[in-house]
A and B are shown apart, each in its own frame.
Chain A
Amino acid sequence: MSFSDITSDQVVMILVLLGIVISAVVAVTVRDLLKAAIALAVTSAILTVIMFIMNAFMAAVFELSVCTGLITVVFISAISLTRPKTKEENVKIEKHKLRRFVLLPVILIVVAVSLVLLFSKLNINWAVLTGTSTESFADILWKVRQIDVLGQIIIILAGVFGVIVLFKERDVK
């Protein structure tokens, strides 16, 4: 494929994918935890854009409301409830961290290259996988995956009980 075959849609998609990687790098490297949480929200928002481009509208709405909204609120409240470190402590930890993980970048690059190579070596038969999907999203969610929806309800209840137990124990003490 030559460069002249690339359409404008593909260029937009590649730029958006580049954006999600850059915002993820910012989220894990920036020192201020509040800025990291906001960069994570930006990552979620860019993922929402990708989902809209790939025609996954329902998942995009969930991602935008839950991951960009709720998780950011949870993170920011957790950060404000816990005292952040001072700058000097952070710098000390960063130096210590760099000394301990000298070989980590090399290992990670090797893992990344091997993952990409492994994927390109996989001989996936797309013709078998690609089907004509006539069912709607609601049909699949409520008819094909009924038991999974039940599992989701149980997971949400488990989360609610977990949070209740945590906060109850703190009130007693």
Chain B
Amino acid sequence: MTLVFYCAIIAVVLLLIIGFASLLTSRNFIRILISLEVLMKAVTLMIISVGMVTHRIELTQSLVITLIIVEVVMIAVAAGIVIGIHKHYDTLDSTKLRNLKG
């Protein structure tokens, strides 16, 4: 079982790296949200694999359900904000929003 756990950890690290790389390089708001989702998936996979290896899968399941609820609320509110930005400024490019730039 530890082999599976170490493979899961490597997958978590890869998912985190993919998410951070996309988060740093993207300028489209929806793509930034997708990167955040990938990071959330990495965290979920980490929690579940730790629960598997410590035989406390029930506790980690309840943690994951909390995480999923936070995730979906964040995405719903962020998607609303993105739609509002598109209505106001007619762009999804984060570099074109310079109203608050000093």
Contact = CB atoms under 8 A, between A and B. Distances in A.
B100 interface: no
Contacts of A50: 8, 45, 48
Interface residues of B, number: 69
A66 B72 CA distance: 7
A59 B64 contact: yes
B83 A81 contact: yes
Interface residues on A, range: 35 or more
Consensus secondary structure, chain B interface: helix
Interface of A: 1, 6, 10, 13-14, 17-18, 20-21, 24-25, 27-29, 33, 36-37, 40, 43-44, 47, 50-51, 54-59, 62-63, 66-67, 70-71, 74-75, 77-79, 81-83, 85, 93, 97, 100-101, 104-105, 108, 111-112, 115-116, 119, 126, 129-133, 135-137, 139-141, 144-145, 148, 151-152, 155-156, 158-159, 162-163, 166-167, 169-170
Interface of B: 3-4, 7-11, 13-22, 24-28, 30-31, 33-35, 37-38, 41, 44-45, 48-49, 51-62, 64-66, 68-77, 79-84, 86-87, 92-93
